[in-house]
């Protein structure tokens, strides 16, 4: 696995330090007794980020997972919902958590979908964002790191469902993604 990584962009130490900072920002936003937080992890890429993040969040919360079809590889396929455990979030404070904001299609689709369920508030958190690709009009509330426009794996992010367990975030060797 390590041999497939061209270079490390973010070490696990850097990631953990930043996840604690993001958790502090989120905790500040949702402090107060009337918060009814529902975390919506977007599977599968966010699993490691979410697991680390929520253990740093001393806020009462529910967790409701969501999985969309991956459109990578298909030439502009429709985004479909594969698993929807979100349920009734009307009146709740929803925080969608994803691994990476690339073209923004995924986050936009999820926001539109959850907005129809009348949450009290709806925010988004991503570990990574590629500013060169992310649409300027798509607001995300919490961002771990802005990164270069390279294909990255590790800490939950995959290529062909591999490398999610790699503890750092690294750029794959170019010949592997061709
Ligand atoms: P978007 O809809 O283009 O913003 O892409 C978001 C989804 O594409 C993420 O949830 C990831 O699953 C996947 N993705 C985008 N860029 C990368 C990458 O560099 N490495 C791994 N997965 C990625
Ligand atoms: Mg994903």
pLDDT by residue (tens digit) across 40-67? 999 999 999 999 999 999 999 999 999 9
The dihedral sign for the CA sequence 130, 105, 73, 86: positive
Domain extent at residue 64: 12-152
Compute the distance between CA of residue 99 and CA of residue 28 in angstroms, rounded to an integer. Answer: 21
pLDDT by residue (tens digit) across 119-164? 999 999 999 999 999 999 999 999 999 999 999 999 999 999 999 9
The question of whether 132 is a catalytic residue gets the answer no
Specify the CATH number for the domain of residue 78: 3.40.50.2020
From 93, 98, 99, 102, the catalytic residue: 102
The pTM of the full predicted model, rounded to 2 decimals, is: 0.95
> Does residue 171 lie within any of the structural domains?
no
> Does residue 76 lie within any of the structural domains?
yes
E strand or H helix that includes residue 129: strand 121-129
Is the pLDDT score of 72 beyond 80? no
> Does residue 98 lie within any of the structural domains?
yes
Q: Is the CB of 102 under 6 A from ligand 1?
A: yes
Please answer whether residues 157 and 171 qualify as being in contact, where contact means their C-beta atoms are separated by less than 8 angstroms: no
Residue 157 region by backbone torsions, left for phi larger than 0, else alpha for psi between -120 and 50, else beta: beta
Going by DSSP bridges, is the β-strand pair 37-43/81-84 parallel, antiparallel, or unpaired? unpaired
Distance 81 CA to ligand 1 centre (A): 15
> Does residue 99 lie within any of the structural domains?
yes
| Ligand 1: nearest atom to the Cα of 159 | 21
How many domains are there within the chain? 1
> Does residue 139 lie within any of the structural domains?
yes
């Amino acid at each position: 696995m390590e041999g497939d990584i061209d270079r490390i962009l973010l070490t696990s130490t850097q990631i953990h330090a930043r996840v604690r900072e993001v958790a502090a920002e989120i905790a500040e936003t949702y402090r107060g007794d009337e918060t009814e937080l529902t975390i919506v992890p977007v599977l599968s890429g966010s699993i490691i980020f979410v697991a680390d993040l929520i253990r740093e969040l001393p806020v009462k919360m529910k967790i409701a997972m969501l999985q969309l079809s991956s459109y990578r590889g298909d030439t502009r396929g429709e985004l479909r919902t594969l698993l929807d455990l979100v349920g009734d979030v009307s009146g709740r404070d929803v925080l969608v958590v994803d691994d990476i904001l690339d073209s923004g299609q995924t986050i936009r689709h999820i926001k539109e979908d959850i907005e129809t369920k009348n949450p009290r508030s709806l925010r988004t958190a991503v570990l990574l964002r590629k500013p060169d690709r992310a649409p300027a009009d798509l607001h995300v509330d919490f961002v771990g790191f802005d990164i270069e426009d390279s294909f990255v794996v590790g800490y939950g992010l995959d290529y062909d469902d591999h490398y999610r367990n790699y503890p750092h975030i690294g750029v794959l060797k170019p010949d592997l993604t061709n």
